[in-house]
């Protein structure tokens, strides 16, 4: 591990993948140098690298890494790389970006390891461009719903630059709104069990000088009831064709509460998170994670040793609870008669 030198959460240097280790933030800032696919699988599986766009990009770099290690004289050992690609696709099941990243990079295998790496690096640039467009569109959309006054926003999990190649999705929109002088406060759900909100989003908002308060996840509904929230902004891990949205566990509850209180619920996510092959969210595989994430907190046991645990990492919010999904190519409004709008903002 080294001190961070990356502008973004991911990069490539001298035949290795560089990644910010998100497990140890905010107290330690470490850069991982991953030189084998096994190391990358461990990093994604333990959430050192996390967030749907970031794991898709990391997986694409992983295919490049495998092609780099399994080639001689520019000729790639196709079978070895495809075996690694299959392992990368399967390491986390919910975010569609993972299989998308692997598929795109692997499609260049016939052109040699350099071409695979060039594709993965192009995907990083594309995600950065998508972030920039989506953040502005998301901010425009929120301003179109709530044109005046200070905004009290609520967000969940981490959708910022750690989770993407650049400024992030929902958090990118929040930072853009802050840049326009509109944000009075962001309520950040801590995001049990792994505390992506407390550890990562709070840190990113602090770095960007955006005013925020952290709350336990179970305080969100009451905050909405007390009139403390004007709009909920979240990201996504997989979006079905009808607009059903898989995202971090707890998102569905926020959407139910927002609908009950008449609060806009806006999802900000890149095109790569849409899974048009799924008609709706019922087929989305929800990752179930280790029981110890729930029975302990920061390594300290908080439950009886043999407690049985239900630990889904994600849930699915039905489209009818979603005000809009804002992407770089469109704004999808499941509840509107004009369901699919092209924003006036250039993509």
**Nearer to ligand MRU by C-beta: 64 or 246?**
246
- In the complex, residue closest to ligand MRU by CB: 235
Query: Shortest approach of ligand MRU to residue 51 CB, angstroms?
Result: 4
Q: 40: Cβ–Cβ under 8 A, 6 or more apart, which residues? A: 17, 34, 49, 58, 59, 61, 62, 65, 88
Quick check: is 21 catalytic? no
Smaller CB distance to ligand MRU: residue 67 or 163?
163
Question: What is the binding site for ligand MRU (CB under 6 A)?
Answer: 47, 50-53, 95, 157, 159, 163-164, 169, 196, 235-237, 247-248, 313
**Least Cβ distance, residue 317 to ligand MRU (angstroms):** 12
Which of residues 18 and 95 has its CB atom nearest to ligand MRU in the complex?
95
Choice among 84, 140, 237, 275 that is catalytic: 237
Q: Considering the complex, state which of residue 70 and residue 196 has its C-beta at the smaller distance from ligand MRU.
A: 196
Q: Cβ 188 to ligand MRU, closest distance in Å?
A: 12
> CB of 66: closest distance to ligand MRU in angstroms?
22
CA-to-CA dists, residue 289 to 92, 191, 194, 294, angstroms: 10, 14, 11, 9
- 43 vs 67 by CB, closer to ligand MRU: 43
For the packed helices 113-145 and 96-106, what is the interaxial angle rounded to 10 degrees?
140
Closest approach of ligand MRU to the CB of residue 22, in Å: 8
The nearer residue to ligand MRU, 93 or 264, going by C-beta atoms, is 93
- Taking the C-alpha atoms of residue 330 and residue 322, their distance in angstroms, rounded to an integer, is 15
Shortest separation between residue 91's beta carbon and ligand MRU, angstroms: 11
User: Active-site positions?
Assistant: 237
């Amino acid at each position: 591990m080294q001190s961070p030198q990356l502008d973004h959460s991911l990069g490539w240097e001298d035949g290795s993948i560089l990644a910010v280790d998100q497990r140890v933030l905010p107290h330690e800032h470490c850069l991982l140098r991953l030189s084998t696919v096994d190391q990358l699988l461990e990093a994604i599986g333990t959430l050192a690298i996390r967030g749907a766009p970031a794991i898709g990009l990391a997986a694409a770099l992983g295919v490049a890494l495998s092609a780099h290690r399994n080639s001689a004289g520019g000729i790639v050992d196709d079978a070895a790389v495809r075996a690694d690609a299959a392992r990368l696709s399967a390491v986390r099941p919910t975010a569609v970006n993972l299989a998308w990243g692997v598929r795109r990079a692997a499609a260049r295998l016939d052109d040699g390891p350099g071409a695979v790496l060039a594709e993965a690096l192009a995907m990083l640039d594309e995600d950065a461009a998508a972030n920039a467009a989506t953040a502005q569109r998301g901010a425009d959309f929120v301003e179109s719903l709530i044109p005046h006054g200070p905004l009290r926003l609520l967000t969940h999990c981490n959708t910022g630059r750690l989770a993407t190649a650049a400024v992030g999705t929902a958090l990118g929109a929040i930072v853009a709104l802050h840049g326009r002088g509109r944000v009075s406060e962001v309520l950040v759900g801590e995001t049990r069990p792994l505390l992506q909100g407390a550890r990562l989003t709070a840190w990113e908002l602090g770095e960007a000088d955006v005013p925020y308060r952290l709350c336990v996840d179970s305080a969100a509904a009451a905050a909405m009831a007390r009139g403390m929230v004007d709009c909920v902004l979240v990201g996504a891990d997989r979006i079905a064709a009808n607009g059903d949205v898989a995202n971090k566990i707890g998102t569905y509850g926020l959407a139910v509460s927002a609908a009950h209180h008449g609060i806009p619920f806006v999802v900000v996510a890149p095109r790569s998170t849409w899974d048009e092959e799924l008609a709706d969210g019922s087929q989305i595989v929800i990752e179930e994670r280790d029981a110890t994430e729930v029975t302990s907190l920061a390594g300290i046991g908080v439950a009886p040793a043999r407690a049985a645990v239900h630990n889904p990492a994600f849930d699915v919010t039905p489209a009818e609870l979603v005000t809009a999904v804002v992407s770089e190519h469109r704004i999808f409004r499941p509840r509107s008669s004009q369901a699919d709008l092209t924003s006036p903002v250039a993509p």
